[in-house]
Structure 1
Amino acid sequence: MTDDPNTASPPPSATVRVARRAADADESARASRTWWEDAADAYQAEHGGFLGDDAFVWGPEGLDEARARLLGKPEELRGARVLEVGCGAGQCARWLRSQGVGEVVGIDVSYRQLQHARRIDEQIGAAVTVAQADAQRLPFADGSFDVVCSAYGGFPFVPDAAAALAESARVLRPGGRLAFSVSHPIRWCFPDDPTEAGLVACDSYFDRRAYVEEDDAGRAIYVEHHHTLGDWVRSIATAGLYLRDLVEPEWPEDNEQTWGGWSPLRGRIIPGTAIFVAEKPPVP
């Protein structure tokens, strides 16, 4: 792989079959790492303008943290230490630094995504601290951060939601906050199609088997996991956190962008994103 993020990477491995089946933590992490190494260039080229170089966008609807303030008031974040899980090219982390947050660290399973973070840093002169790591195994000490956040980062790709949230809770200090967004679980009932065909439910909401794309050798090259709303709420509680908010962004009238299965047509009828906001209890 070249060290120049402006040089195109090879295309993603060809998907020859799609399956709904179990995929454990190691297989999921390996598939995510391989997929995003290959897909990072195309992803940033297609969505980089929407995401911005230093903006915090929670999902395809375009809800941004500057308006939502799900991580807390600006004065509360100054001097805080924040971890972004699944940071991609560091857009959210860079925005947090621009708001005066004390320290921000971004992790991503894809080295190629982190190369794009470095490219943007050099272009706009605003550096963020990043490291290659898996959301399921955070390389930080207990109680290291005041806030952990993730905007469609690592959590859609983990098989064990409770274990992943427990890992984020572990690195939170008492009284700290966790906020993360994922595809709204109801979307798993519908085809990933932005047209009217995508408005017909065809799968069970309770089918928790992973969506797996395989190559010609049967190896998983892309894995995404489905957890119901109840699964996420229970996992938050199991991790020892209190759920403070559940945000389902409505599709704004001025957003005409189609992003995969997200579109104005579908977004104005069914929710596309779920954002969970939780807190770790303070020390008694």
Structure 2
Amino acid sequence: FLIFSSSIFLLKIINIAAFIFSLYFSYIISSLLSFILAIKEFPKEERKIYLWDSIKEILKFGSVSQLGNVIQYLNYRLSYYILNYYTTLALVGVYSVGVMFSETVWMIPGSISLVQYSRIANSEDLDYSRNLTLRLAKFSFIATLFVVFIFILLPYDIFSGMFGKDFKPVKSVMIYLSPGIAIFGYTVIISHYFAGTGRYIVNTKADFLGLIITLIFNFTLVPKYGYIGAAVTASLSYLTTGLFLLFSFLRETKTRGKELFISMDDVEFFLIKAGLKNMVIK
């Protein structure tokens, strides 16, 4: 931000290139500083060994993880380009606002998964990691579903009042996106289980499967149904990715299917954690 501000106020450079340059430069600076600070944590006599081992680990896991990130980005954003090709830029705007509102719900599972990932990555107890993942996935799903339900209850006129009458259909986009958005609240926690245990390849496979669904159904539904077709496609992609992750989790952790659902033990656990012990039914 400071570099970008300097480019504008000191160098009088006001264009997109200044922002992009500042962004890259800030990433490079922060990465170098992080690297230097991390190296200082290692004993001097062992720094070369740790450094080489770390580079190998980064290349081993990072390449698979970044490939998954690229596929995931295409999965999330390819609909815009296909929608723009078959319809108009105005309809892309309607769809974009609907996606923007819907994806704000993902801050809930995103925040939960950060805590989950740090705990799993620093634990060698797979049973603990499995149980933690199941508990957090259920809580994340409930919280996500609640917010999605609130969004669906919002009247159409709110969006036309905020963005103009042409954006009244934004709610329709959100309604068709809601099944996929809700299931994502559960499965993003599952995906971080695999990330935390070093099996990024599972997430990459799930993202690739979702991308295939995105390609097939976008070219099938968007020409006929426009932004509604794009929203349905996105939901199908999220659901497909989620189901793959769930089946992979069940298979690898030997978890029974019924354990994926909320039980009375889970309810009691959440109430106790929330400090509502008196509501726990014995």
Counting strand residues as a fraction of each chain, which structure ranks higher?
1
User: Which structure has the greater CA radius of gyration?
Assistant: 2
Counting helix residues as a fraction of each chain, which structure ranks higher?
2
TM-score (norm 1): 0.25
TM-score (norm 2): 0.25
